[in-house]
Amino acid sequence: MMLRRDLLKWLAALAAAPTIAFAKDAPLRTGKAQPFNAQTVATRARALAAKAYAPRPTIPQEWRDISYDEYRSIWFDPRNALWEGTARPQRLDVFPPGLYFPRAVEINVVADSAARPVLFDEAVFERTDTFPDLPQNDHMGYSGLRLRADLLGDGDFTEYAVFQGASYFRGIGTGENYGLSARGLALKTGDPEGEEFPDFVAFWIETPAPSAKSVTVHALLDSPSCTGAFRFEITHGAVLDMVVEAQIFARKDLKNVGIAPLTSMFLFDATMRDRFSDFRPNVHDSDGLLIHNGAGEAIWRPLTNPVQLQISTFVDQTPRGFGLMQRKRAFDDFNDLEAHYHKRPSVWITPMGDWGAGAVTLVEIPADKEIYDNIVTYWRPSKPIPAGEARQFIYRLQWGGDPAPRTPDRLRVRHTAMGARMEGGEVIVIDFENGTAVPEDLSTLEIVLHASAGRTTPAILQRNPETNGPRLAFTFYPEEARAIEFRAQLLLDTTPLSEVWLYRWTPA
C-alpha cells in the first residue's frame, strides 16, 4: 500500500506556487551529446539485465532528511522550463530531489539523433526563506519531470502528465485533477514477502516539432528482478492518450508480474457507509473495475475496502480492455470542496496485439484513511517470464472522465448500495442506466442472479424515477458464509442487456 496523498497535495501546491519572489535567468542546461536511436534504451536495458542489480547512489543525507513543509518550500520556476520562449508545443519542468526521492533520475533531451543530459542546477528552482542551505554531491539530480502544454489555446501552458517516484506516472484530461496513478510494472503485489517496486532510472524526451500533436518519452526501468525499456507516445486533450511499448528483460523468474498496473484509492461508498463517520457520501479516486474480456462480456466490479487483504482474478484470453473507473462525476456524489473527487480521471487500458492467456487481477487492501493507495489492478500473464528472457507488451492508456469504449447494447451500472434490513439480512441495490432497448414493461426482462453461498430472496426489478433506468434489488442472508461472490445481469430475450455486475461480500 503506497502512501502518496501528501505527494499529490504537494504537486497541486506546486502548480499554484508563486514565482514572483525573485526573477531567475537559469534555464535548464544540457551536457555533452551522445548518439541516440530507437534501440538505445532497449540495448541498455538488455545489457543491464545481464548484470547483478546495483541500486543507484543516493543524494546527501541532508536532502533526504528535510521535512514535508521544507520540501514544499522549493519549486521549479516555469520560466526556466525546457523549450520556454520557443515555438515548441510542449514545456518540460523538473522536480527537486529529497524527502520521498533519495535517488536522482537521469533526464535526457533528444534532438537530431543525439541525446543530451539535463544538468542539475539548483538555480532553476524558486524557494522561500525557510528552505535550508544543503550540501551537494556528485549524485545530485532531479527526481522526475512534468509535461505542460497550451491545453486551452489561451497561451497558458498547464500540466497534464508527471513522471516521479519509482515507476509511477500520472496523467489528466484537460480540466481534471490528479487522482489514480499508473506504473511501469508491478512485481510481487500481494505476496507475503512483500512487493517489489521497480524504478524508472532514466528518461529521454524527444524534442517535439512546432506542429507536433504528441511528445515521445522513453524510460529505462531497473529492479532486482528485471529491467525494462519503455516508450510513451503522449497526446494531450480532453482524454489524455498514451501509447505504451514495454520490453521487459527478466533477471530472475518473474512469477507474479503485473503488466499495465494502475494504483488508486477507495475508502468508502454506499456499500459500507456504516463503517465511516464522515460528512461525505463517498470518498474514492475510483469506484469500479471495468473489464471487456475476450469472450465479449462487459464486467463491472464495484471496488470495496475490505477488512482483510483480498485478491480477485478474472481469468481471460486476449482481453479487449480493462481499467479503473470513476463513474460518479457530480459534485454532490462527494460533497468535497477540496479534494474534488468528481474531477478525478478514469483510466482505460486497451491491449494492442494478442496478450494471450492470463488474468486481470484486482488487489484490495484494507485502509482506514484516504491518504493510502489501497487498490491495484493489472494484467498477470498465465506463464511466468523465465530469467534471461524478454517479453514485449504494447497497450494504450487513456485518462479521462469516461475513456472506456461504450457498448451500446449493454446498460452500464450507475450505482451500488448496501445496508441491513430491520427484519434481518442485507439488501443490495443496483442501479443501471437507461437505454433505448429497455422495454416499458420491465417484467419482460430476465434477471440472472447467482450467489456462491448464503441465501438470497427473489430479485425485484423496478424503474428508478430519478434516472428512468432499471433498479435491481434483493436481500441476502450470509448464514455461515465468510465470503460470497455475487453475479447479476439483465437479459432481454436471452440476450445480455446490461453489464455483468460482480461483487465480493465479506463481513465487516
**Per-residue pLDDT reduced to its tens digit, 86-139:** 999 999 999 999 999 999 999 999 999 999 999 999 999 999 999 999 999 999
| 171, 159 contact by CB (below 8 A) | no
Considering the chain, what is the average pLDDT of its residues? 94
Q: Distances in Å between the alpha carbon of 375 and those of 134, 184, 237, 283, 364? A: 37, 16, 26, 13, 5
Q: What is the pLDDT of residue 423?
A: 85
Tell me which residue of 362, 366, 270, 381 sits closest to 322, measured CA to CA. Answer: 362
Tell me which residue of 294, 142, 145, 153 sits closest to 232, measured CA to CA. Answer: 145
Tell me which residue of 289, 315, 276 sits closest to 375, measured CA to CA. Answer: 289
Tell me which residue of 463, 411, 464, 404 sits closest to 436, measured CA to CA. Answer: 411
Q: What is the pLDDT of residue 17?
A: 45
Amino acid identity at 299: I
Distance CA 487, CA 301 (A): 10
Contacts with 9 (C-beta within 8 Å, 6 or more apart), sequence order: none
Please give the residue that has the higher pLDDT: either 21 or 191: 191
- Per-residue pLDDT reduced to its tens digit, 39-87: 999 999 999 999 999 999 999 999 999 999 999 999 999 999 999 999 9
pLDDT bin (cut points 50, 70, 90) of residue 19 is: very low
pLDDT bin (cut points 50, 70, 90) of residue 24 is: low
Distance CA 68, CA 76 (A): 16
Q: What is the pLDDT of residue 26?
A: 83
- Per-residue pLDDT reduced to its tens digit, 195-221: 999 999 999 999 999 999 999 999 999
Q: What is the pLDDT of residue 476?
A: 97
Instruction: Give the number of other Cβ atoms within 10 Å of residue 466's Cβ.
Output: 8
Backbone angles phi, psi at 14, to 5 degrees: -65, -40
pTM score, whole prediction: 0.94
Give SS3 for 424: coil
Distance CA 185, CA 164 (A): 14
Across the chain, which distance is largest between two alpha carbons, in Å?
76
When pLDDT is averaged across residues 425-445 and rounded to a whole number, the result is 95
Please determine, for residue 266, whether its predicted confidence score (pLDDT) is greater than 90: yes
Please determine, for residue 4, whether its predicted confidence score (pLDDT) is greater than 70: no
Tell me which residue of 394, 41, 358 sits closest to 228, measured CA to CA. Answer: 41
Distance CA 202, CA 447 (A): 53
Please give the residue that has the higher pLDDT: either 5 or 23: 5
When pLDDT is averaged across residues 140-166 and rounded to a whole number, the result is 96
Please determine, for residue 6, whether its predicted confidence score (pLDDT) is greater than 80: no
Please determine, for residue 497, whether its predicted confidence score (pLDDT) is greater than 70: yes
Tell me which residue of 178, 41, 69, 216 sits closest to 129, measured CA to CA. Answer: 69
Pairing of strands 298-302, 90-95: unpaired
Q: What is the pLDDT of residue 18?
A: 42
Strands of 65-198 (E only): list them. Answer: 74-76, 90-95, 106-111, 114-117, 125-127, 144-149, 158-164, 168-171, 181-183, 186-187
| 169, 181 contact by CB (below 8 A) | yes
